[in-house]
Each structure stands twice: as structure tokens, then as C-alpha cells.
């Protein structure tokens, strides 16, 4: 038996719960876990749309529907689980300040309740997706290491940071193992072009549909973009990571300005973007790029998909999706 096959056999004895398993990251993670031999339980809201197309049919797959803030639903979902991936968020960075009470009541209190129930259920490890773009606040220097001061300027980032602290507390008090992955800006197949976040997806969708897109400021704002397959590899590697390090930045380690992103999208699809530049927003920091050396060292992880290649894959997928929906602008495109 080769190493891959023996690893699959070993994984089959472990059940992973993916909270938010029908979402963009969750759907990719669920499929990857099944491919590696894990038993996978997906938890999401009833009637939530399946990202990437189709419901999963697999003997090791379970679908649980419920409400993250309902203790009975979570108790049922956690039963018999070894590893819990926490990908749920009820707010967005740009809108969280409008109702911080809702942010705290749903995300923070909901997670503290989850951790309490995880201890009671005998869960071995919780892996939490945090936000590399918000927990640090305005970067003092880039790339930003995990040791950088954390001064978030939105409720979303404050709640993410508080959850990280509670994970450390539950580890200290109850022995609950954990890992925190502070993600940059993930993009790729399955990401919605009409959502309130995800610049690559939103811009790509508007270019393909021939619609005007808005750029806040002069387009010089720099962000770190990471392809979804690289995110999923980091999540899976964090299952068995050992040592004292439990907090990892997950990004490309490189920055792209908004104008550079648009240039790549235009070259990829062979169509010009209709850009409308608007006054800059006060909460948009000039540059945010993550230092990923801790993940290289402790997880043995590094991004494998370059930005341009990821965009090509994503664009090919979105073209097919929009063509099926008959939403492509008149004039089409050429492959």
C-alpha cells in the first residue's frame, strides 16, 4: 500500500465538520477532504445555494441543515466529530460597523457557544478561518507578519480577533486543540460575482457582462490575492500540524493593485473593463500584503498557483456559468 492510499485509510476513521460547507471556501474544502478519504459532514443553512454547481453524492458525505446560533442544531452537528472547520460568518467587513451588536451576538457569542459544545462533544480540534485583511488594521509595514499589532478598524475584524483569543482560552482551560488561518483575499471557481465582497469575482463578472465597474480611489490600493486551491491545501495541512504555532497568515505573499488586477482580467478575457473611478474610501488602507513564512515553516505550505493562472481558471469557469445563464453581454468573447 502506497503512502497516499494508507493516508486515505487513516483519514477515513476521522470525521470533519465543515461549518458553512456550502459556501465558496467550504464547498471546495468539503470536496478536497472527501478526496483525501475523510468522512465529511457539511453544515449550512436550509435552502442555501450550493457553490460550484451540484450537491455532493459520496458515501462518506453527510449534509446537516440548521442555524449556527441554534444550540440544538449545533449539538446535533457536532456529535461524533473529530475536526471542526469554522468558516461561518454572518457579516461582511464593510457593513459590520453598521450593527456591531448583531456581529457580536451572532459571530462571537455563537462561536463561544460552539467551543463550549465542542468540548462537551469531545471534538479534538477546531480550525478557524480568520481575516488577514482586517485583524491587523492599518499595516505599519508590509508584508505583515503574525506578530504585527492587531488594531482592527471594523467590527468584523474585532469579532474575528476575539474568536482567536477564545480559541486560545479554550485550549488552555480545556485542552481543545486549534489552528487559526488568517486569510488574504481568496478567489476562484464558485465565488459569486454578485456578492458584497471578492474584488476579482465582482470585476470579472462585470467585465464579462459588459457592465460598468466602480473603482474606489485611483486604483493604486494594493491587496494580497490567493487562489482557492491553495487556501484549501493550507486548511487540510493544519489538521495535523504540531508544535506551538497555531496562527498562520495564508496569502500569496505578493500584492497587486486594483489597476493591475483589472489589467490581468482584461488580458485574460480579451475585453476592456468599463472603469468608473470614484473618490477613495477612508477605511481602505493603501496596501495589505501578508507575510507567509510561518505557514511555510510550520505547515510546509506555500502557494502553488500564480495569480494570472488562477484568474485564467476562474475566468474559464465563470464564462461557462454565465453562458449557461444566458447573461453574457451581446458581442461575446473569444477563447
The two beta strands, 222-223 and 256-257, are antiparallel
Other Cβ atoms less than 10 A from the Cβ of 262: the count is 22
Q: Specify the pLDDT at position 329.
A: 47
Contact in structure between 181 and 129 (CB atoms under 8 Å): yes
Catalytic (active site) residue 156: yes
**Residue 335 counted as domain residue:** no
- 175-220 pLDDT, tens digit per residue, is 999 999 999 999 999 998 887 679 999 999 999 999 999 999 999 9
Residues 207 and 286 in one domain: yes
pLDDT tens series, the chain, 335 aa: 565 555 565 677 899 999 999 999 999 999 999 999 999 999 999 976 666 556 788 999 999 999 999 999 999 999 999 999 999 998 888 778 889 999 999 999 999 999 999 999 999 999 999 999 999 999 999 999 999 999 999 999 999 999 999 999 999 999 999 999 999 999 999 998 887 679 999 999 999 999 999 999 999 999 999 999 999 999 999 999 988 999 999 999 999 999 999 999 999 999 999 999 999 877 678 899 999 999 999 999 999 999 999 999 999 999 998 888 764 444 443 33
Residues 243 and 290 in one domain: no
Residues 101 and 241 in one domain: yes
Task: Return the CATH number at 276.
Answer: 3.90.25.10
Check 156, 166, 225, 227 and give the catalytic one. Answer: 156
**Residue 119 counted as domain residue:** yes
Helix (H) or strand (E) holding 179: strand 177-183
Residues 11 and 151 in one domain: yes
Q: Specify the pLDDT at position 14.
A: 95
pTM: 0.92
How many Å apart are CA 8 and CA 3, to the nearest integer?
A: 9
Of 235, 250, 265, the residue that ends a domain is: 250
**Residue 109 counted as domain residue:** yes
Q: By C-alpha distance, which of 162, 99, 98, 95 is closest to 131? A: 162
What Cα–Cα distance (Å) separates residue 332 from each residue in 192, 210, 260, 267, 316?
20, 9, 23, 15, 13
Using alpha carbons only, what angle is made at residue 198 by residues 193 and 200, rounded to the nearest 5 degrees? 75
- 107-130 pLDDT, tens digit per residue, is 999 999 999 999 999 999 999 999
Residues 168 and 257 in one domain: no
Q: How many domains does the chain have?
A: 2
Q: Which range of residues forms the domain containing residue 271?
A: 199-223+253-324
The two beta strands, 287-288 and 222-223, are parallel
Q: Specify the pLDDT at position 328.
A: 47
How many Å apart are CA 9 and CA 234, to the nearest integer?
A: 21
The two beta strands, 125-131 and 177-183, are parallel
C-alpha cell at 267: 488580458
Residues 28 and 67 in one domain: yes
Q: By C-alpha distance, which of 3, 17, 28 is closest to 305? A: 28
**DSSP letter string over 186-252?**
EE-TT--TTSSS-HHHHHHHHHHTT-EEEEETTS--EE-EEEHHHHHHHHHHTTS--SS--EEEES-
Residues 109 and 126 in one domain: yes
Q: By C-alpha distance, which of 74, 64, 69 is closest to 21? A: 64
- Indicate the Cα dihedral angle 237, 242, 246, 250, nearest 10°: -30
3-class DSSP assignment, residue 100: helix
Residues 63 and 182 in one domain: yes
Q: Specify the pLDDT at position 205.
A: 95
How many Å apart are CA 239 and CA 179, to the nearest integer?
A: 8
Q: Specify the pLDDT at position 194.
A: 82
Contact in structure between 210 and 273 (CB atoms under 8 Å): no
Residues 45 and 161 in one domain: yes
Amino acid at each position: 500500500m502506497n503512502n497516499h492510499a494508507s493516508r486515505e485509510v487513516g483519514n477515513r476513521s476521522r470525521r470533519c465538520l465543515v461549518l458553512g460547507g456550502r459556501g465558496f471556501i467550504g464547498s471546495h474544502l468539503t470536496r478536497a477532504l472527501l478526496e483525501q478519504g475523510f468522512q465529511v459532514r457539511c453544515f449550512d443553512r436550509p435552502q442555501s445555494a450550493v457553490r460550484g454547481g451540484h450537491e455532493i453524492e459520496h458515501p462518506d458525505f453527510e449534509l446537516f441543515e440548521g442555524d449556527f446560533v441554534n444550540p440544538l442544531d449545533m449539538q446535533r452537528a457536532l456529535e461524533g466529530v473529530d475536526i471542526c472547520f469554522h468558516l461561518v460568518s454572518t457579516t461582511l467587513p464593510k457593513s459590520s460597523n453598521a450593527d456591531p451588536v448583531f456581529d457580536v451576538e451572532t459571530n462571537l457569542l455563537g462561536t463561544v457557544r460552539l467551543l463550549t459544545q465542542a468540548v462537551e462533544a469531545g471534538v479534538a480540534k477546531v480550525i478557524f478561518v480568520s481575516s488577514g485583511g482586517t485583524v491587523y488594521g492599518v499595516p505599519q509595514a508590509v508584508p505583515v507578519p503574525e506578530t504585527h499589532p492587531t488594531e482592527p478598524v471594523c467590527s468584523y475584524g474585532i469579532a474575528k480577533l476575539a474568536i482567536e483569543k477564545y480559541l486560545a482560552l479554550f485550549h488552555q482551560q480545556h485542552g481543545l486543540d486549534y489552528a487559526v488561518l488568517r486569510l488574504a483575499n481568496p478567489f476562484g471557481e464558485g465565488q459569486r460575482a454578485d456578492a458584497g465582497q471578492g474584488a476579482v469575482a465582482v470585476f470579472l463578472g462585470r467585465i464579462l457582462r459588459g457592465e460598468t465597474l466602480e473603482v474606489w480611489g485611483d486604483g493604486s490600493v494594493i491587496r494580497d490575492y490567493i487562489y482557492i486551491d491553495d487556501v484549501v491545501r493550507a486548511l487540510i495541512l493544519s489538521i495535523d500540524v504540531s508544535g506551538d504555532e497555531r496562527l498562520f497568515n495564508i496569502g500569496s505573499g505578493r500584492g497587486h493593485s486594483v489597476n493591475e488586477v483589472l489589467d490581468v482580467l482584461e488580458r485574460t478575457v480579451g475585453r476592456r473593463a468599463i472603469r468608473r473611478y470614484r473618490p477613495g474610501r477612508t477605511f481602505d488602507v493603501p496596501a495589505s500584503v501578508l507575510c507567509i513564512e510561518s505557514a511555510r515553516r510550520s505547515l510546509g505550505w506555500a502557494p502553488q498557483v500564480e495569480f494570472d493562472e488562477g484568474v485564467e481558471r476562474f475566468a474559464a469557469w465563470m464564462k461557462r456559468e454565465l453562458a449557461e445563464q444566458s447573461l453574457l453581454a451581446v458581442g461575446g468573447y473569444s477563447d
